[in-house]
Amino acid sequence: SQVTTDMASLTREVERFAEYNKLEIETLKVREAYRKEFMGNVSHELKTPLFTVQGYILTLLDGAIKDKAVRKKYLQRANKGVERLIYIVKDLDMITKLEAGELHLDLEDFNIVELIQNSFDLLEMKAAKKNITLVFDMPYDRPVMVRADRDRIQQVVSNLIVNSIKYGKKGGTTEVSIENLIKNKVIVRITDNGEGIEKENIPRLFERFYRVDKSGSRKEGGSGLGLSIVKHIIEAHNEKIYVESVFGVGSEFSFTLEKSKKTPEVGNKSKVSK
Ligand code: ADP
């Protein structure tokens, strides 16, 4: 009977091993499919600007180079295309690091009001081109201290404001607000009265390369990676990001941040009203 027991346990061992191998193979298959899809998306994203740049170079070589004014115009356009390529490659680099969990956060205490003001200064021109007004619903001189990676949060805020301009209506408004949440959190909201997002598209917004309107968004010049980078950065901070949108009315993106312990109640709105 000793032999049969050993045989039975051996069979169990073999079965367990086979089961483990099957799981391992499934994981590898999923990873491989994911890698293929990623590479497919990358080459697709790079193709358009590459062909654009090539188009201008070929036209120049074809004789346009002799005309001084045309030469300058085409070189400027080719350069725009190269700028776009650099921008896409930078975003790709970022998303690869984020997905591999290789982003190192540099936590510090800073004033989020000042950061929002910086973003407004940087994006004012862009907004003005579409006659969009940037509104901050708090006094600039009342600091709100948070603890986070300042550069990464700057990237998040800029990205969300840029989107609100890109998908905003001409003559519209982008409003940014900060509110105290329960305990040690604040929530930053970026609200626009732009084109809005249809309900069925909302769950997919944060996927990389996902765009609601493929042609329209590409004309706007994004990489389709912005929101997935934003989400990764917020989640790396162990914080949350939310989106609410009504098609044809507008969208609101919001995210939470941890308040700084150093100056817990500075600039606290609810403190003022208490
Ligand atoms: P993109 O480079 O295309 O802007 P993002 O990842 O930043 O990529 O955004 C993904 C898609 O989400 C956009 O293509 C657009 O369709 C939609 N979207 C993002 N922000 C807004 C917004 N404020 N209003 C309406 N649609 C938006």
Q: Is 241 in the pocket of ligand 1 (CB under 6 A)?
A: no
Report pLDDT for 273: 38
Three-point CA angle 28, 30, 36, nearest 5°: 100
Q: What is the pLDDT along the chain (274 residues), one digit of tens a residue?
A: 667 778 889 999 999 999 889 889 988 998 898 889 888 888 988 998 999 999 999 999 999 899 999 999 999 999 999 999 998 999 999 999 998 888 899 999 999 999 999 999 999 999 999 999 999 988 778 899 999 999 999 999 999 999 999 999 999 999 999 998 888 999 999 999 999 999 999 999 999 888 887 665 556 667 889 999 999 999 999 999 999 999 999 999 999 999 998 754 544 444 443 3
Contacts of residues 44-52 at CB distance under 8 Å and 24 or more positions apart, as own/partner, are: 45/88, 45/209, 45/223, 45/224, 46/85, 46/88, 48/218, 49/81, 49/82, 49/84, 49/85, 49/88, 50/81, 50/85, 52/77, 52/78, 52/81
Q: Is 167 in the pocket of ligand 1 (CB under 6 A)?
A: yes
Report which DSSP code applies to 62.
T
Ligand 1 centroid to residue 63 C-alpha, Å: 40
Integer Cα distance of 195 and 198 in angstroms: 9
Q: Is 45 in the pocket of ligand 1 (CB under 6 A)?
A: no
Written as six digits, the tokens of 182 are 């329960």
**Residue (of 226, 267, 270, 8) closest to 139 by Cα position:** 267
Integer Cα distance of 50 and 208 in angstroms: 21
List Cα–Cα distances, 47 to 41, 54, 96, 225, in angstroms.
Answer: 10, 10, 19, 16
Please answer whether residues 225 and 92 qualify as being in contact, where contact means their C-beta atoms are separated by less than 8 angstroms. yes
Written as six digits, the tokens of 26 are 């499934």
Phi, psi (5° rounding) for residue 211?
-135, 140
Ligand 1 centroid to residue 16 C-alpha, Å: 46
The structure tokens 């969208």 sit at: 251
Q: Is the ipTM of this complex over 0.85?
A: yes
- Give the predicted TM-score (pTM) of the model: 0.82
Report pLDDT for 212: 85
Amino acid at 144: V
Q: Is 227 in the pocket of ligand 1 (CB under 6 A)?
A: yes
